[in-house]
Amino acid sequence: MSSSPAPVPPPVLPYGRPPLRTVQVLGGAGAGSSAHVRSLTTGLAARGVRVTVCAPVAAEGEYDFTGAGAEFTPDAASALRAACAGADVVHAHGVRAGMRAALALRGRGRRAPLVVTWHGSAPDPGPLGRLSRLLERHVARAAAVVLGSSSDQVDLARRRGARDARLAAVAVPSAPAPPDAGKTRAELGVVERPLVIAVGSLVARRGYSVLLDAARAWRGLEPVPLLVIAGEGPLRPELTRRIETEGLPVRLLGRRRDADRLLAAADVAVVPSRWEGRSLLAQEALRAGVALVATEVGGIPELVGDAAVLVPYGDPDALAGAVAALLHDPARRAALAVAGRAQAATWPSEDDTVAQVLSVYDELMERGRAGRGPG
């Protein structure tokens, strides 16, 4: 009679305790936070941590968290509560995700500590802004540790009542080298004209209305540059009307999975946002050696240093002039390419990110063991 194979024991961490169980909570499918969670999941799983990612199904389809070593569960409230019930640490990414995680943990006897990484949201002075401030206050006070993606996020978390707010070592994975840029330019029809690129969802905080105002001024340049915007969102009909009515040299490409390929073919990248924490496009542009023009808001100045041209938000003349000046100055673009790669080399690596997060998790576990006492 054959015997069934012996069960495989769970991995044991070097210090002799069972593996840590974490739940990573995403409140949406944003590119920056999703890429960060994918990178973090890979590093944690490789170090023996058991990771469950609770996120929209669309995010799993695009970022393949299971392929990174996680167990995936959809972001339904019941699924999140079940996942949190067995967790040692719950780590939410973004204020909305932090609120959902805090609700999932409510009412539990020995509840897992909550860590929240604030990737950032645009300040809004209206009614939605008041609601956002209430959510931020609740999440800041519910979290054992808040990790801010930029210094201004750390300051904001402290103002909202966070007990412990720290600057996060947030890294996103480097993209592989894209294929020949000439082929991409030919596909876009810009072999003989400059290419300007912006990437991000078509929502108000991205500043695309100001960017279209700037594009109107570029019609006087020779040759006329083409602006391509990769992203999708509720402002598409309004932006499309403006492009057609005003005859703007702009193409809306929709949601693209090859933004890195488009970026590598561009002469200038533009971030015209009203607010950004740690802009994914800014990081990718500097890494790729593409000259960047960005608004001087949020965490952008801290992120890019002197390796980009910064302009005030909401000033189409300044934005148009900065881009036009770069298009007419190849030497300046080349200098920014060198400076951009040097600035990117100062950013945290993926290993730095995982090491910091594991350090926070271990600290919280030690606090919990000290609080429970011996036995």
**What's residue 306's pLDDT?**
97
Average pLDDT, the chain: 89
Residue 51 CB burial class (10 angstroms; 0-12, 13-18, ≥19): buried
In sequence order, what DSSP letters do the residues of 76-91 get, joined into one string? -HHHHHHHHHT-SEEE
> Taking residues 269-279, what's their average pLDDT?
92
Identify the residue with better confidence: 264 or 375. 264
**What's residue 123's pLDDT?**
62
Closest of 30, 56, 325, 25 to residue 205, by C-alpha: 30
The alpha carbon torsion through 51, 56, 61, 67 (nearest 10 deg) reads 0
Strand partners, 26: 93
pLDDT at 15 > cutoff 50: no
**What's residue 318's pLDDT?**
98
For residue range 296-318, what is the model confidence (pLDDT) as tens digits? 999 999 999 999 999 999 999 99
Residue-wise burial string across 292-328, b where 16 or more C-beta atoms lie within 10 A, e elsewhere: bbbbebbbbbebbeebbbbbebebbebbbbbbbebbe
For residue range 46-97, what is the model confidence (pLDDT) as tens digits? 999 999 999 999 899 989 999 999 999 998 999 999 999 989 999 999 999 9
**What's residue 126's pLDDT?**
66
Q: Using CA atoms, how far apart are residues 188 and 199, in angstroms rounded to an integer?
A: 15
**What's residue 375's pLDDT?**
42
Least confident of 172-176, 239-243, 262-266, 312-316: 172-176
Q: Which CATH number is 181-344 given? A: 3.40.50.2000
Does 56 sit behind a cis peptide bond, omega within 30 degrees of 0 on the bond before it?
no
Residue span(s) of the chain under CATH 3.40.50.2000 come to 21-171+349-372, 181-344
pLDDT at 3 > cutoff 90: no
pLDDT at 320 > cutoff 90: yes
Least confident of 28-37, 95-104, 310-319, 365-374: 365-374
Residue-wise burial string across 69-104, b where 16 or more C-beta atoms lie within 10 A, e elsewhere: bbebbebeeeebbebbeebbbbbbbbbbbbbbbbeb
**What's residue 17's pLDDT?**
61
Task: Return the DSSP state at 110.
Answer: S
pLDDT at 327 > cutoff 70: yes
The bridge status of strand 145-148 relative to strand 165-167 is parallel
Amino acid (one-letter) located at 79: A
Q: Model pTM? A: 0.85
In this structure, are residues 19 and 49 in contact, taking their beta carbons and an 8 Å threshold? Answer: yes
For residue range 177-227, what is the model confidence (pLDDT) as tens digits? 666 888 999 999 898 999 999 999 999 999 999 999 999 999 999 999 999
> Taking residues 262-279, what's their average pLDDT?
93
> Taking residues 144-152, what's their average pLDDT?
93
**What's residue 367's pLDDT?**
87
Token digits of residue 149: 């993606």
**What's residue 12's pLDDT?**
46
Q: Using CA atoms, how far apart are residues 253 and 196, in angstroms rounded to an integer?
A: 13
Q: Using CA atoms, how far apart are residues 90 and 264, in angstroms rounded to an integer?
A: 37
Which strand (E) or helix (H) includes residue 54?
strand 50-55
Q: Which CATH number is 21-171+349-372 given? A: 3.40.50.2000
Token pair 């608004």 is found at 295
Strand partners, 22: 51, 89
Q: Using CA atoms, how far apart are residues 248 and 106, in angstroms rounded to an integer?
A: 52
